[in-house]
Structure 1
Amino acid sequence: MKAIRLKLYQEMTNYKKPTSFQLKETYPLPPYSTIIGMVHALCDYNEYKEMDVSVQGKYFSKVNDLFTRYEFKSGMTFDGARHQIKVEEFGISRGVATTELLVDVELLIHIMPHDQRLITELENALLYPREYPSLGRREDLVVIQEVKVVDILEKELEEDIELEENYTAYIPLKLIDSGAVILSGPDAGIRSRGTKYKLNKNYELVNYGTKKAPRVFRKWNKIDVLYTSNIIASEYETILIDEDENIVFAS
């Protein structure tokens, strides 16, 4: 199988957790859905293209940034005691909220389309993007440092392969459970040392209403992963690697 390998840099970014509101918390790495969304936008795809994604990287620090927050409720009329903005007869509240930002983010991403005929199309869209790419919020611009087509090999390792120093990754739990990936460091005896996430990948539209009164929502396909560091692909185990012996945590 072939894949597109990306090396990306972002000065500041927020990969928002869906359940955070007053403080817009960020994931430590972009979730699968965020990466897939960027790729589909750059390729002008109007329907979902099946693909697997591997995500690893690091960031230097976190900071908090203020932003202006607007709140309104459908049909609420303007009340001078609680609203700062009047739009016709309706009222809008304006206040301050906080966004969590990652600083100096480096990412190593593998994108593996199920339809291998898309490889050239994906490569061209990323090499010559139609607009400046962003990952996270619209304003979180990406510097693309490398776009390379690589071979992905399923290989039984003759020796351990360690992740790049200080790099973290989203590891599908099945790789931890099978023993193909082990964790080193001071807590090496703990098999699942790290943070478990259920990450969004792709969705289907489901109508929970009726034909006459449809209520359509996104039903997300979620992937169970472990976010962790000090990662080693174990010798004598079979795992995916690229042609330059980077570990691929495909999901």
Structure 2
Amino acid sequence: MRGIRLKLSQDMVNYKKPASFQLKETYPLPPYSTVIGMIHNICGYTEYHPMKISVQGKYFSKVNDLFTRYEFKNGMTYDEKRHQLNVNGYGISRGVATAELLVDVELLLHIVPEAEEDVQEIYDWLLRPLEYPSLGRREDLTVLEEVRIVEINEDVAGYDLELEKGYGAYIPVSYLMNDYVETRAVDGLEYSGTCYKLNKNYRLSNFGSDKAPKVFRRWETVDVLYGRDIQMKRKKPFYVDELGTCVFLA
């Protein structure tokens, strides 16, 4: 199958965990939904184009940074003793919060659209995007180091194949259950790493009525293991691109 190999770098970035508020924590790599959102934004897509994604990369360190946080309650009127901002009679509180940032991020992404014709279209838009590419927050700009169309095939190697030095990856749990991948065991565990339930794409669902709709996003998630020191086992089938890089599609 054909896909797009995308290598990029970022200075300081936050891939926010949905349930973190007081400290805006970050994932170690961008979740699938963040990558898919970037691709759709760059291409100007207004409807979801199904695609599979592989995410791997590394970062140098983590730091904490301050940012301005705005809080409001639906329908709460302005109170000068409580609120800092008055917006059309409604009160908004302004304060300081902390965000966790990854420093000097390197990412290697593989994008495999379900529709074959999307491969060339996405490639062209990545070379000439509608606006500057960002991944994570709006201000988290990206530098596209490499963009190329590659063939991704299932292969059986006669030797163990490892990730690039220092790189980690999101590995779908299905890869581990099928015994394709091994990671360095710790304290008797078969696999070492951190388990995440990552958002990928969503469908709009109405939990109200036709007259009073309440539309929410219903996310489809992928169970993954984030780990390093990863090897694809010899004499086992796995996906690899034409440059010899392992691909973990989800």
Shorter-normalised TM range: over 0.9
1:234 aligns with 2:237: no
- Which one is further off, 76-85 or 153-162? 76-85
Q: What is the CA distance between 1:92 and its match in structure 2?
A: 1.6
Query: Would the aligned equivalents of 1:176 and 1:191 in 2 still touch at CA under 8 Å?
Result: no
Residue 217 (structure 1) aligns with: 216
1:52 aligns with 2:70: no
Measure, in 2, the Cα distance between the counterparts of 1:147 and 1:189.
Answer: 40
Residue 146 (structure 1) aligns with: 146
RMSD: 1.2
| Sequence identity percentage | 58
TM, length-normalised to structure 2: 0.97
Measure, in 2, the Cα distance between the counterparts of 1:28 and 1:165.
Answer: 16
Measure, in 2, the Cα distance between the counterparts of 1:86 and 1:130.
Answer: 35
How many aligned positions are there? 250
Q: Summarize the alignment of residues 1-251 of structure 1 with structure 2, pairs less than 5 Å apart.
A: 1-184=1-184, 187=186, 190-251=189-250
- Letter matched to residue 75 of structure 2: G
Measure, in 2, the Cα distance between the counterparts of 1:197 and 1:49.
Answer: 24
4+ aligned runs moved over 4 Å, structure 1: none
Matched residue SS, 2:247: coil
CA displacement, residues 85-127 of structure 1 (integer Å, 9 cap, x when unaligned): 2234322211100111100000000000111111110111111
Query: Would the aligned equivalents of 2:44 and 2:130 in 1 still touch at CA under 8 Å?
Result: no
- Letter matched to residue 235 of structure 2: Y
- Letter matched to residue 175 of structure 1: Y
Measure, in 2, the Cα distance between the counterparts of 1:175 and 1:75.
Answer: 48
Matched residue SS, 2:123: helix
- Letter matched to residue 112 of structure 1: V
Q: What is the CA distance between 1:188 and its match in structure 2?
A: 8.5
- Letter matched to residue 228 of structure 1: G
Q: What is the CA distance between 1:189 and its match in structure 2?
A: 5.0
Question: What 5-or-longer segments of structure 1 have no aligned partner?
Answer: none
Measure, in 2, the Cα distance between the counterparts of 1:188 and 1:237.
Answer: 26
Measure, in 1, the Cα distance between the counterparts of 2:170 and 2:201.
Answer: 16
